[in-house]
Structure formats: structure tokens, C-alpha cells
């Protein structure tokens, strides 16, 4: 469960010694609901933990897998192995990570109609990577993954210091791989380590770090961590959601305090909005506790 606060490694200001009362928030929002896990990791971009609650519990990744993917694409670009400005033909059939069989995607499961409308034409890889984050586009994600590769995604996780519990072996809607037991899993702690290492320049070059943070700050899905913050607060983040799952990992840059990282992963038999509201409430509690 929750651990008490510790001295902030960036500001040196002693934090409260009582645990963040996430349990009360979970009870308030998910009373009577079957809960698999609600995981929270709050810390500094350098990876120092301020508070953790079940932060090492694996959750289905949903679209949070797009964060290490776009980092991986930029890393390969920085090394000269991949041209992010090269045009990519847009298609909706892909080889499975399990046996190479082809699977097709469905537009109704996507939030990014623009990429689907571009089928049969070409779009720059950099723009597809942007849509994978800003719109959480699924088709854009698989097109980026097809050229980046799961090995480079795994290298990003390793270099960020992630645990073996976080694995991202397949793309979106890869049913053959999923049925064979290849699933995308993350922990709140590991998501926090990835975004912290990214914005600190430990995973990509300085130019790519700035570009990717700006992309994360432009995300259009703000129902979770940003919803718990005062209006106008700077947030660079990546969400993920499917039925019974809602996650958000964020870098928050308050105007008057040191930046912090918050990752919230909630898996429960509850409506989407209920999980959004819970994660926003956790975000609000962290903001107030840090003050």
C-alpha cells in the first residue's frame, strides 16, 4: 500500500510524513466495484520516489505503450537508423508479432480518423508518431512500430531502468499475438521512469527530448491527471484506456515548484468516466500534498 513522503530530492523541502490517502479516494470512487489494482507512482524526473502505492503491479498497457514507442522511433532517428521525415504508405494490415500472420485493424476502435482517411497515400513518420501521442492514434501507432521494431522499444524500457514486469511485445489489435499470450503490460513505476528519463535527456538527444515533451504537452485527451490540476498548469502526458482500464503518466511543471512525475494506473470493473474521475482525484491530492 502507500508509503509515507520523503524529502524532495530537487527542492530539499521536507514533505509530509503521513501517507497520501489514496485508499480513501479509491473507496469513494469505486465503492462496491471489483478492483484489480489502483497503482500510483509520484516522484522526481530523476527517478526518486516520493510516494508509491502498488506501483510495481502490472496492468494492461492500453495506449501508454505509445510513449516508449515514440521514444524508440526518435532514438533510432538520432542514431541515423531511421528517417522520421521519410514518407510512410498508410495501410491497415500488419504482420502479427506471434507468427507473422496478417491481422487487420478497425477504424471504429481509433481516435484518429485523419490517418485512416490517408490510406493509400503517404504520411511522414514524424507526423504519424505525433498522432500516436496527441490523438492516441492506433493505426498511426502500428505504422510507427512497423518501422521502429519491438526490440528498440524493449531497449528504451531497459535503459530507463524499468522492471521485467513491463513488456511491450506487440502492436495494437494484434489478436494472434494476444491469444498466444503476448500482451502489453506496464507498471506505474516503470511508466514514471520512462517519462522522467525522456524529459531529463537520458533516452534521446536534447533536440528529440524537447520535441517529444512538446508533443506530450499537446495531447488532446486531458480527462485524467490534467483534470485534477489548476487550469493552465503545464502537463506533458500520455493516457491509455480500454474497458475497465484507465492510465495516465505525466510530467507536471508547476510555475512555483520543481517539476514532478505522476503515474496512475487503474484497473477495475467500472465505467470509463468513473476511472477518469478517480485518477483525476489522485492527481488533485498529489498537487495539494506537494504544496
Asked if residues 177 and 233 have their Cβ atoms less than 8 Å apart, the reply is no
**pLDDT tens digit string along 50-73?**
999 999 999 999 999 999 999 999
Q: What is the mean pLDDT of residues 110-122?
A: 97
pLDDT value at residue 20:
85
**Residue 7 confidence (pLDDT) above 70:** no
222 three-state secondary structure = coil
Q: Of all residues in the chain, what percent carry a pLDDT higher than 90?
A: 91
R_g of the chain, CA atoms, integer Å: 18
pLDDT value at residue 8:
32
Q: What is the mean pLDDT of residues 245-265?
A: 97
Q: Per CATH, which fold does 22-290 belong to?
A: Beta-lactamase (3.40.710)
**Residue 1 confidence (pLDDT) above 60:** no
pLDDT value at residue 16:
39
Each domain of the chain, given as residue ranges in start order, spans: 22-290
- CA distances from residue 40 to 23, 26, 36, 261 in whole angstroms, order as listed: 11, 11, 14, 11
pLDDT value at residue 76:
98
**Residue 4 confidence (pLDDT) above 80:** no
Buried b (16+ CB within 10 A) or exposed e, 195-211: bbbbbbebbbeeebbeb
pLDDT value at residue 3:
31
pTM of the shown model:
0.92
Whole-number Å distance between alpha carbons of 46 and 50:
11
Q: In which residue are the cell numbers 513505476 written?
A: 189
Mean pLDDT, the chain, as a whole number? 93
pLDDT value at residue 100:
79
**pLDDT tens digit string along 163-221?**
999 999 999 999 999 999 999 999 999 999 999 999 999 999 999 999 999 999 999 99
pLDDT value at residue 19:
55
Amino acid at each position: 500500500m502507500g508509503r509515507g513522503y520523503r524529502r524532495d530530492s530537487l527542492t530539499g523541502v521536507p514533505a509530509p510524513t503521513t501517507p497520501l490517502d489514496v485508499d480513501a479516494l479509491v473507496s469513494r470512487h469505486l465503492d462496491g466495484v471489483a478492483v484489480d489494482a489502483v497503482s500510483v507512482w509520484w516522484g522526481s524526473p530523476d527517478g526518486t520516489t516520493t510516494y508509491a502505492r502498488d506501483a510495481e503491479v502490472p496492468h494492461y498497457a492500453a495506449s501508454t505503450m505509445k510513449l516508449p514507442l515514440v521514444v524508440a522511433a526518435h532514438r533510432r532517428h538520432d542514431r541515423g537508423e531511421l528517417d522520421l521525415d521519410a514518407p510512410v504508405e498508410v495501410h491497415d494490415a500488419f504482420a502479427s508479432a506471434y507468427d507473422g500472420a496478417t491481422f487487420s485493424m478497425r477504424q471504429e476502435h481509433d481516435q484518429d480518423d485523419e490517418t485512416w482517411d490517408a490510406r493509400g497515400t503517404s504520411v511522414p513518420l514524424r507526423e504519424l508518431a505525433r498522432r500516436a501521442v496527441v490523438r492516441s492514434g492506433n493505426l498511426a501507432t502500428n505504422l510507427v512500430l512497423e518501422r521502429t521494431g519491438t526490440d528498440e522499444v524493449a531497449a528504451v524500457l531497459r535503459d530507463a531502468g524499468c522492471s521485467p514486469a513491463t513488456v511491450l511485445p506487440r502492436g495494437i489489435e494484434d489478436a494472434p499475438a494476444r491469444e498466444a499470450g503476448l500482451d502489453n503490460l506496464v507498471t506505474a513505476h516503470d511508466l514514471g521512469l520512462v517519462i522522467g528519463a525522456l524529459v531529463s535527456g537520458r533516452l534521446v538527444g536534447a533536440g528529440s527530448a524537447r520535441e517529444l515533451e512538446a508533443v506530450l504537452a499537446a495531447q488532446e485527451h486531458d480527462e485524467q491527471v490534467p483534470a485534477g490540476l489548476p487550469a493552465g498548469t503545464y502537463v506533458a502526458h500520455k493516457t491509455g484506456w480500454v474497458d475497465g482500464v484507465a492510465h495516465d503518466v505525466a510530467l507536471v511543471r508547476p510555475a512555483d515548484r520543481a517539476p514532478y512525475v505522476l503515474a496512475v494506473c487503474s484497473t477495475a470493473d467500472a465505467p470509463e468516466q468513473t476511472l477518469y474521475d478517480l485518477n483525476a482525484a489522485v492527481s488533485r491530492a498529489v498537487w495539494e500534498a506537494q504544496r
